[in-house]
Amino acid sequence: MELSAEYLREKLQRDLEAEHVEVEDTTPNRCASSFRVLVVSAKFEGKPLLQRHRLVNTCLAAELLHIHAFEQKTLTPEQWARERQK
């Protein structure tokens, strides 16, 4: 399976109804897939970090089988607005 940052971004945005998604391909020397993502979604409202990460992991379940390293940051729209003001 050929994974791209754009493919992951579109899937996260669509499935989690995210208002903002950033995906960075952090694969060193293209030896194994590694990605870092930031997802901002209202679906995270009222959910602890573990539940937010489970939502992302469920969304990308098939893709994660082919990803060596995966780092995620999940924020609500309110948290994202506060972080951008810093």
pLDDT confidence band for 40 (50 / 70 / 90): very high
Q: Where are the domains of the chain?
A: 5-79
Residue 33 scores a pLDDT above 70: yes
CATH architecture of the domain 5-79 equals: 2-Layer Sandwich (3.30)
Residue the block writes with tokens 């780092």: 71
pTM higher than 0.85, yes or no?
A: yes
Residue the block writes with tokens 């082919």: 66
Quote the pLDDT of residue 3. Answer: 85
Residue 29 scores a pLDDT above 80: no
38 Cβ neighbours under 8 A, 6+ residues apart: 20, 21, 22, 72, 73, 74, 75
Token pair of 35 as six digits = 């990605």
Radius of gyration of the chain (CA): 13
Q: How high does pLDDT run on average in the chain? A: 93
Residue 71 scores a pLDDT above 80: yes
